Amino acid sequence: MIEPKPFVKWFDRKFDTNIDIEQFEDVLSRMEHFPAVLNQLLETCPKKVITIKTDGKWSVNENVGHLILLEDLWRKRFQDIKDGKHDMSPADLNNTATEQAFFNKSLLDELTKNLIDERAKTIALLQGISKEDLLKKSIHPRLNQPMNIVDLMYFVAGHDEHHMSTIQSIIENTVAL
């Protein structure tokens, strides 16, 4: 029997920052296809579940909204590396924008469309990255370690999967009630 992986909080995770730049296309594909994969999961989500908050944690809508908001940060950070900046742009670690956005008043279909649109902008930026840009590094502000563009792409893909797992857990645990 395969044991499920224990849930690890996002801020407690460790990240490999030595991803081979030859992995660019594979990680780009993961990022590009994420909205479609998430959308398949969301099709299984009953409408009554999308705004339920359990134990003060984000709802399905809030998780999707959070992903939308972060696309701008990801693009800034990719650009920071490309521009040769020493440090990447910082994130709001309190997630104030997510908390104040009232995503539970939005339709899930609108949120998923916005995520698709925002991710497309990120993918377009990455498709314009040169081989020389892939060799550049900037310091990730929270992790305090250098990352190249592929390292950051891997980080973003991991963040995507973290929230998809969270959403899946919300759906499974709420539907079971």
Check whether 81 has a pLDDT greater than 90.
yes
- DSSP lists the bridge partners of residue 146 as 139
**If you write DSSP's letter for every residue of 113-131 in order, what string do you get?**
HHHHHHHHHHHHHHHT--H
Residue 20's pLDDT is what? 81
10 found inside a domain: no
Neighbours of 175 (CB within 10 A): 12
Check whether 50 has a pLDDT greater than 60.
yes
Q: How many domains does the chain have?
A: 1
Residue 19's pLDDT is what? 76
Check whether 13 has a pLDDT greater than 60.
no
Residue 100's pLDDT is what? 93
Residue 2's pLDDT is what? 40
- The more confident residue out of 7 and 161 is 161
CATH number at residue 135: 1.20.120.450
Residue 10's pLDDT is what? 47
121 found inside a domain: yes
114 found inside a domain: yes
Residue 8's pLDDT is what? 52
162 found inside a domain: yes
Residue 9's pLDDT is what? 58
Q: Which amino acid is at 112?
A: T
Check whether 162 has a pLDDT greater than 70.
yes
Reported as a pLDDT band with limits 50, 70 and 90, residue 42 is very high
Whether residue 66 contacts residue 95, with contact meaning beta carbons closer than 8 Å, is answered with yes
120 found inside a domain: yes
Q: What is the mean pLDDT of residues 106-128?
A: 97
2 found inside a domain: no
Question: The whole model's pTM is what?
Answer: 0.89
Check whether 121 has a pLDDT greater than 50.
yes
Q: What is the mean pLDDT of residues 22-35?
A: 96
108 found inside a domain: yes
Dihedral sign, Cα of residue 116, residue 102, residue 61, residue 3: positive
141 found inside a domain: yes
Structural domain including 135 reads: 20-175
Q: What is the mean pLDDT of residues 38-51?
A: 93
Reported as a pLDDT band with limits 50, 70 and 90, residue 174 is confident
